Copies of this chain bind each other. A is one copy, B any other.
């Protein structure tokens, strides 16, 4: 263990820690800036996350969504409630189990996901336009990794 024979800079562990720190700062800055510029009518982070997940993985119950998003069911109740109030998702009763509720994306919800009217998305897109296509491609390759990383936290 440890650097033997030659000094090639940092060890693998130290580099990973450093990457973690850098990533934390970068992600934190973007998140803070976006939250700051949040306009009423725009989706919050939690809402956007749930809506995107529902669109990708199909209808589920609030309880399952809570597990996937790593929050208490009570927190999901309020997120789901907010999305429903805006007509982006629909709650329906489960016929097999009267306790259960099934949540699914509405047409309007699907439209919002590809919408440029979302202030945050527009803001990000305008920033991304300043990048070269190669740089955007690099970011695009990083997105699935970031998603996976979020799942591991």
In the complex, A108 has a CB within 8 A of chain B: no
Contact present for A30 and B149 (CB under 8 Å)? yes
In the complex, A64 has a CB within 8 A of chain B: no
Closest Cβ of chain B to A23, distance in Å, is 6
Closest Cβ of chain B to A17, distance in Å, is 5
Interface-facing stretch out of A1-9, A43-51, A83-91, A95-103? A43-51
In the complex, A106 has a CB within 8 A of chain B: no
Contact present for B150 and A23 (CB under 8 Å)? no
Closest Cβ of chain B to A69, distance in Å, is 8
Interface residues on A, range: 35 or more
Given the interface pairs A125-B16, A127-B152, the reply to whether A34 lies near B26 with Cβ below 8 Å is: no
Contact present for B129 and A16 (CB under 8 Å)? yes
A27 CB contact (under 8 Å) in B21, B31, B125: B31
Closest Cβ of chain B to A147, distance in Å, is 5
A21 CB contact (under 8 Å) in B22, B121, B135: B121
Since A17-B122, A19-B128, A20-B121 are in contact, a sample of 5 more A-B pairs with Cβ atoms closer than 8 Å, ordered by chain A residue number, is A15-B136, A17-B121, A21-B114, A31-B45, A138-B142
* Interface residues, chain A, with chain B CB atoms under 8 Å away: 12-13, 15-34, 36-37, 45-46, 48-49, 52, 70-71, 113-114, 116, 118, 120-131, 133, 135-136, 138-143, 145-150, 152-153
